[in-house]
A = this chain, B = another copy of it.
Amino acid sequence: MTDREIYSGRILKLLVKYVVLADGKPHLREIVEHLPGAAMVAVDASGQVLLVRQPRPAVGAAVLELPAGLIDPGEEPIETARRELVEETGFRARVVEPLVAFYTSPGFTDELIHIFVGTDLEEACAAQDEEEEIEVVRMPVEVALQRVMQAEISDAKTVAGLLAYARLANPS
């Protein structure tokens, strides 16, 4: 019944904790401590959003997502979002604004994702992440939103980021 660390690895730790609830008894909680991340809704002058598709072993499929990555130690979330956009798509956003932030699944993990909007895009000298196999997919924001509502875009940060962007653009 004592808290313990099960695993400490590259991007996460697994802890088992016992939490006393209203019934006065300790209840097991399995908790994953995960590094925070940042993602970018990058929209070009013609209203197209830059997404990336990459293999995700955790779900056994390639997933269409906002450009995103883990925040390096000491890095500001906005810098992570800028950096990942360049690394993953080869584009730089000259204007970057905060959009929303949320825990991906607070029932078991502290992973927090900060989402930004990037506009005024320009091509950068991109060196794609060596480790990553990433395809850049560009589509009109409206098409991306249709795919969200049809559950064809199925990544929480991408669903939430695109919908928040649409609301910001059209708050009524």
Binding site for B on A (CB under 8 A): 6-7, 9-12, 14, 16-17, 19, 21-23, 27-32, 34, 37, 55-60, 63, 65, 100-113, 130-133, 145, 148-149, 151, 153-160, 163-164, 166-168, 170, 172
How many copies of this chain sit in the oligomeric assembly? 2
5 A-B residue pairs with Cβ-Cβ distance under 8 Å, sorted by A, are A7-B14, A29-B58, A103-B154, A163-B166, A166-B167
Chain B min CB distance to A51 (Å): 13
**Cβ–Cβ contact A58 & B133, under 8 A:** no
Chain B min CB distance to A14 (Å): 5
Q: Which of B17, B27, B109 contacts A105 (CB 8 A)?
A: B109
**Cβ–Cβ contact A131 & B23, under 8 A:** yes
**Cβ–Cβ contact A104 & B101, under 8 A:** no
**Cβ–Cβ contact A156 & B30, under 8 A:** no
**Cβ–Cβ contact A148 & B100, under 8 A:** yes
Chain B min CB distance to A66 (Å): 12
Known: A110-B58, A131-B27, A160-B156. A104 touches B105 (CB 8 A): yes
Residues of B within 8 A of A6 (CB): 6-7, 14
**Cβ–Cβ contact B11 & A108, under 8 A:** yes
Q: Which of B16, B132, B164 contacts A149 (CB 8 A)?
A: B164
Known: A104-B104, A108-B34. A163 touches B156 (CB 8 A): no
**Cβ–Cβ contact A155 & B106, under 8 A:** yes
